[in-house]
């Protein structure tokens, strides 16, 4: 049973999986327009934007084009040099599963996986990410391999208000990448950098351990 609900959201795992796949595929590989962040004028090519800056915004630092490798897909993105990866994911690429909470590298809500390691997108400049392999929650959720982890999180209510959940999930995925059968203690240590105001902490270890068992062929108790 599937239904579309407010703001394009869906209820089932399969529908959510399709939705994130759609979000990823909607990201253009090549930029076709270049918008001035200062005055909103749009140019068909990057050189036009550069010339516009020199003529109209002399002294201002012009945006740059960065090639990102996101969820296995290369894409050009126009950003200002000081933009963090978090900001770019939301405001340029529509990947809003990476959340903004503390903006100080404390809460873990903006966790992404970069070259196999969980990192905080609010603390990394997008310009530094060129050529790096980046996975966001959307890429993980779209990959059927990680369905057991998503399922386990949902079965165990490892979320309440849901805002920090994706940061935990990305960290959990990174843990399972390097340790397919973590102990409860290892789960807690891996997630020590993620903060949940709703106090869901005990649920995460339960979900990760259940997912690990399911992914290694073990069963799930009802």
Nearest approach, Cβ of residue 164 and another protein (Å): 6
Nearer residue to another protein within complex by CB, 9 or 67: 9
Nearest approach, Cβ of residue 69 and another protein (Å): 18
- Could you please report the per-residue DSSP string of the chain? ---EEGGGEESSHHHHHHHHHHHHHTS-SS---EE-TTT--EESSHHHHHHHHHHHSTTSPPPEEEEEEETTEEEEEEE-TT-BHHHHHHHTT--TTS--S-SSS-S-TTEEEETTEEEEGGGSBGGGGTT-EEE-HHHHHHSGGGHHHHHHHHHTT--SS-SSHHHHHHHHHHHHHH-SS--HHHHHHHTTT---TT--HHHHHHHHHHHHHHHTT-----
Nearer residue to another protein within complex by CB, 98 or 126: 98
Nearest approach, Cβ of residue 143 and another protein (Å): 11
Nearest approach, Cβ of residue 62 and another protein (Å): 13
In angstroms, the CA 56 to CA 201 distance is 52
Nearer residue to another protein within complex by CB, 124 or 196: 196
Nearer residue to another protein within complex by CB, 2 or 131: 2
Nearer residue to another protein within complex by CB, 131 or 171: 171
Nearest approach, Cβ of residue 103 and another protein (Å): 6
């Amino acid at each position: 049973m599937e239904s579309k609900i407010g703001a394009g959201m869906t209820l089932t795992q399969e529908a959510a999986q399709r939705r994130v796949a759609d979000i990823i595929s909607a990201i253009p590989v090549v930029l076709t327009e270049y918008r001035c962040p200062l005055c909103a004028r749009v140019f068909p090519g990057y050189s036009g934007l550069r010339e516009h800056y020199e003529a109209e915004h002399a002294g201002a630092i012009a945006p740059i084009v960065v090639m990102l490798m996101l969820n296995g897909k290369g894409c050009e993105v126009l950003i200002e040099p000081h933009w963090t990866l978090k900001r770019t994911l939301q405001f340029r690429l529509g990947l809003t599963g990476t959340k903004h909470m503390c903006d100080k590298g404390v809460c873990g809500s903006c966790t992404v996986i970069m070259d196999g390691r969980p990192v905080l997108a609010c603390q990394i400049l997008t310009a530094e990410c060129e050529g790096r392999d980046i996975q966001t929650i959307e890429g993980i959720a779209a990959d059927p391999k990680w369905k057991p982890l998503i399922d386990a999180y949902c079965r165990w209510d490892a979320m309440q208000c849901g805002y920090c959940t994706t940061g935990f999930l990305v960290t959990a995925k990174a843990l399972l990448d390097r340790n397919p059968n973590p102990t409860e203690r290892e789960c807690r240590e891996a997630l020590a950098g993620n903060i949940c105001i709703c106090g869901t902490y005990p649920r995460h270890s339960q979900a990760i351990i259940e997912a690990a068992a399911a992914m290694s062929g073990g069963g799930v108790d009802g």
